[in-house]
Structure 1
């Protein structure tokens, strides 16, 4: 029986996918506070040498996700979502256990390699939501998944810091336990969302690589345009991961405690927007308008951060950045409306590859701009220059989103016969 005809089963499946994404984010958030210190302890040579290793770890992780995301997506199109999600959870759990036990930096790097390969489960989770959710409800469902990121980044680093204070290996064991527990839960609970008749007939390696996946996007002009906006949005987001701590210390003299409180506030605001506000605004405004509104708020938030002379003004930018969260779920919904059902996995793999590509270049781009902006010989002393670039990226993204969606309908709804019908916009 088709899963879409069973409302309770569909709700249970959405809940499981939400928990899967939340546990993925929790498991990675838990190790954030301790991974650099563990690298420093295992590698020796002090902070400077550890910093080089940490940079290598980050680049490797993003590169592997860039390669593996379309592979996971294509595998889920061919063999179903359930198998890929479960194997991803199992692989992550075993990998975290491996990293908890190794005693050299190269072995830890190997563990991080496999983390990047298995952690592409968000690709399949997005495809799963597209399978089981009517088009007019997808933005709200993607908003729910987005809120898992906010919740995960509130709880994960705090829990990891607490456990790491007891023992530096303990967060890795906790992450492994979470992932393996989720695998066991899903093994008995999670139904398949993609019927056999809707699956791809074969696994095609030409479609399961990042460049072949991009060619899929080229076949859908509006999707290709929105995918470029996804790339710019993800690139802009790396300014927070790359220079936020350095910027807050340089400009406002913040220590780790204030930074932690600020990140927790940011995560809480983001979770509220994606879990509640998306569900309220999208039906009223439509996905197309909501995308532009979210990107505009994000551009304003980063612009305010760039020129905030005092920390209270800087904090005022956080609600604006949280409203940026309106854009992501609405873009996902718009994109999934325009791609055939049997290609949803490949689509999400292509989108995830673009996000990973941003992770390869983003950290170096923003840290170099920050270093140049505060250098003594800089022509213009502007510590907020990285945030200004992020603001410009989102502003450009809002303009592209307007260009590629201006002829699209505002809403898509399902009639009783199951056919998708567009409303004039």
Structure 2
């Protein structure tokens, strides 16, 4: 794996997700400015994630057939067009339509970047590659909201135009600089063999269901925290959005540092399974510590635990699945993305509901779920298949 290709994938992931981060601070205000109520705003967010959940595995199948680069380019163009159109929207109906279409087309981009890493890295080095991609994503959510907040002062639509422009420029980076990672001889092409690429089978019909379940629960619990934490620190401690922004800045930097600078060494020394367990432990401690936090620095430290733990879980979990899958890497990465999207659909709904019952409930439930995952993984990990020693075996399960 060449250093140049890794750098290109890092910047591709960073630039793709930078656009997502840029709209975070302004989207609620932009929508409410057009008369959108809380339920309608929730529908806008949910519709995007629902489309990502449904279509990411399907785009993964396509990338296994035609290669990675066309799908990344298609996703970037779709992202660019739909975000610019969203910025031009003058009604809720237009907003919803563009979010739905945007969710469908942009689902082709990031999972395919992950599949590229799986193509290019041998199994023993894959966690390091996934970590670099995770670092790019983490940094995008450090700088994206800050940039979006500044641009939003010039108009709520401006960050959407900027995000669309960034995606369009990234398309040219991919087109001219990023090489294809999946040779024609390793692509799946026979329609009669598509059944083996069924993403439902990947979830429920394989020995990897445990890892998919862990990635889903982690996303579910974290989405519940992200939905309610601003309310929590404001309702109980009177903290402001600016203070919350600084806390998430700390979390983002810690996550990027862990994924970009530490994961490779940790995996080499401990192995993926132990690093995954450590990440879940950090999440458990973080969730259970929220109810006993009392000030800015204590909450910043708690969020730093999530930044570090999240980097460990997502990086090693994704690497472990990609090392053991009998599916193509495209459909595998798409299925992983779907698990994340499903968690981000159900997590906010559940988190909001239990927060209304008691402010500490989302975090206590999150802590309990992490403990359950620890017990489940430790008791079932011996049933996981061994990693493929030869990367080629993971990319050509359909060849004779």
Go from structure 1 to structure 2 and tell me whether the alpha carbon gap of 1:389 and 1:155 turns closer, same or farther (over 3 Å shift): same
Cα separation, 1, equivalents of 2:168 and 2:295: 45
CA distance in structure 2 between the partners assigned to 1:371 and 1:220 by the alignment = 38
Q: Runs (4+) of structure 1 moved beyond 4 Å?
A: 203-209, 407-415
Q: Are 2:47 and 1:66 equivalent residues in the alignment?
A: no
Partners of 1:70 and 1:346 within 8 A in 2: yes
Aligned to 1:386: 362
CA drift of 1:156 comes to 0.6
- Give the alignment of 1:15-164 within 5 angstroms: 15-42=7-34, 44=35, 49-120=36-107, 121-164=109-152
* Aligned partner of 1:403 among 369, 379, 384: 379
Q: Which residue, out of 183, 187, 192, partners 2:171?
A: 183
Q: Is the 8 A contact 1:285 1:410 kept in 2?
A: no
Secondary structure of 2:188 counterpart: coil
Do the aligned residues in 2 keep the contact of 1:207 with 1:346 (CA within 8 Å)? no
Distance 2:345 2:194 in 1: 23
Please list the CA deviations of residues 294-339 of structure 1 after superposition, one character each: whole Å capped at 9, or x if unmatched.
Answer: 1111111111113324444333323322231212111111111112
Is 2:342 aligned against 1:329?
no
Q: What corresponds to 2:239 in structure 1?
A: 254
Per-residue deviation at 1:204? 7.3
Q: Which runs of 5+ in 2 are unaligned?
A: 395-400
- 1:406 is paired with a residue of what secondary structure? helix
Counterpart-to-counterpart distance in 1, 2:337 and 2:140: 19
Q: Is the 8 A contact 1:66 1:356 kept in 2?
A: yes
Aligned pairs for 1:202-241 within 5 A: 202=190, 212-221=198-207, 223-241=208-226
Query: 1:357-395 CA distances to partner (integer Å, 9 max, x unpaired)?
Result: 11221111001111111xxxxxxxxx2221111112222
Unaligned runs of 5+ in 1: 1-6, 374-382, 421-425
Post-superposition Cα deviations, 1:38-85, rounded to whole Å, max 9, x if no partner, equal 11122x2xxxx5312210111111111111111110000111111101
Q: Paired residue for 2:397?
A: none
Does residue 307 in structure 1 map to residue 289 in structure 2?
no
In the aligned structure 2, how far is the partner of 1:143 from the partner of 1:78?
Answer: 26
Distance in 2 (alpha carbons) for counterparts of 1:367 and 1:265: 24
Deviates more, 1:349-358 or 1:399-408: 399-408
Looking at structure 1, the residues matched to 163 and 298 of structure 2 have their Cα atoms a distance apart, in angstroms, of 36
For the residues of structure 2 that align with 1:68 and 1:150, how far apart are their CA atoms?
23
Q: What is the CA-CA distance between 1:409 and the residue it aligns to?
A: 9.0
Q: Is the 8 A contact 2:250 2:300 kept in 1?
A: no
TM-score by length of 2: 0.92
The aligned runs of 1:162-201 (5 Å cut-off) are 162-201=150-189
Return the alpha-carbon distance in structure 1 between the equivalents of residues 318 and 192 of structure 2. Answer: 24
CA displacement at 1:240 relative to structure 2: 2.9
Residue 181 of structure 2 aligns to a residue whose secondary structure is coil
Given the two structures, how large is their TM-score scaled by the length of structure 1? 0.87
The whole-number CA distance in structure 1 between the counterparts of 2:87 and 2:250 is 30
Equivalent in the alignment of 2:274: 289
CA contact (8 A) 1:147 1:272 kept: yes
Contact between 1:220 and 1:338, CA under 8 Å: does it hold in 2? no
Aligned length: 392
User: Would the alpha carbon gap of residues 188 and 315 (structure 1) be closer, same or farther in structure 2, given more than 3 Å must change?
Assistant: closer
User: What CA distance in whole angstroms lies between the structure 2 residues aligned with 1:99 and 1:203?
Assistant: 36
Report the Cα distance in structure 2 between the residues aligned to 1:122 and 1:401, rounded to whole angstroms: 27
Query: After alignment, is 344-353 or 66-75 more displaced?
Result: 344-353
Measure, in 2, the Cα distance between the counterparts of 1:17 and 1:215.
29
Give 1:19 shift.
Answer: 1.8
Do the aligned partners of residues 398 and 268 (structure 1) sit closer, same or farther apart at CA in structure 2, a change above 3 Å counting?
Answer: same
Aligned-partner Cα distance in 2 for 1:152–1:112: 20
> How many Å separate the matches in 2 of 1:91 and 1:145?
21
Q: Which has the larger radius of gyration?
A: 1
